[in-house]
Amino acid sequence: MAKKTKKLGKEIIGNVVKITEVITNTAMEFDFAKLPKEIQAKLGPFGLNHKLGDAAAGCAGQEAVDSIKKVWDGLVGGNWAVRAAKGESVSMSALNSGIDKLPPAEQAAAKALLLKLGIMKPAAPAEAKK
């Protein structure tokens, strides 16, 4: 599976958000302090919602609850960079490596299951020989 190419470079320096669009290399700066107070008041809870939601990405049940609480506790303690421990993840290269070690019939069955689950994408059709 190909790695996604970033479309934007983003950086926060103080109250300023710097965004660079990578294709045009257009750099933009947005000063949070220039926003009206009503908009600043709405962006705070929106950002908190996003930060806490991200804490539960890839988790479910009690693991999600624990991750959200850990991030909240870190924020309350002044630690912006706190991250909750994530569960084990498996890369496509690890899956493919494991599948390649199976007998042919089991390889086909494993690939079919991964396709059905949407974990693996169908192979691109081979170009016709001229």
**Total Cβ atoms within 10 A of residue 66:** 15
State residue 71's pLDDT score: 93
State residue 82's pLDDT score: 84
State residue 74's pLDDT score: 92
Q: Does residue 72 share a domain with residue 95?
A: no
Compute CA distances 33 → 42, 89, 108, 124, whole Å. Answer: 13, 39, 57, 49
State residue 88's pLDDT score: 56
What tens digit of pLDDT does each residue of 42-63 get? 999 999 999 999 998 888 899 9
Opening angle at CA 60, ends 53 and 57, nearest 5: 35
Q: With a cut of 70, list the residues of the chain below it in pLDDT.
A: 1-4, 85-91, 124-130
Q: In a 10 Å sphere around its CB, with 0-12 CB exposed, 13-18 middle and 19+ buried, how is residue 55 labelled?
A: buried
Q: Does residue 117 share a domain with residue 94?
A: yes
Q: Does residue 102 share a domain with residue 61?
A: no
State residue 72's pLDDT score: 94
State residue 124's pLDDT score: 66
Question: Which one-letter amino acid corresponds to residue 46?
Answer: F
Distance CA 111, CA 122 (A): 9
State residue 87's pLDDT score: 55
Q: Does residue 70 share a domain with residue 40?
A: yes
Phi, psi of 96 (to 5 degrees): -60, -40
Closest CA to 43 of 54, 55, 31: 31
Q: Does residue 103 share a domain with residue 45?
A: no
Kindly report whether the global pTM for this prediction surpasses the value 0.85: no
Q: Does residue 23 share a domain with residue 71?
A: yes
Provide the residue range defining the domain that includes 21: 9-76
Residue 23 maps to a domain: yes
Overall number of domains in the chain: 2
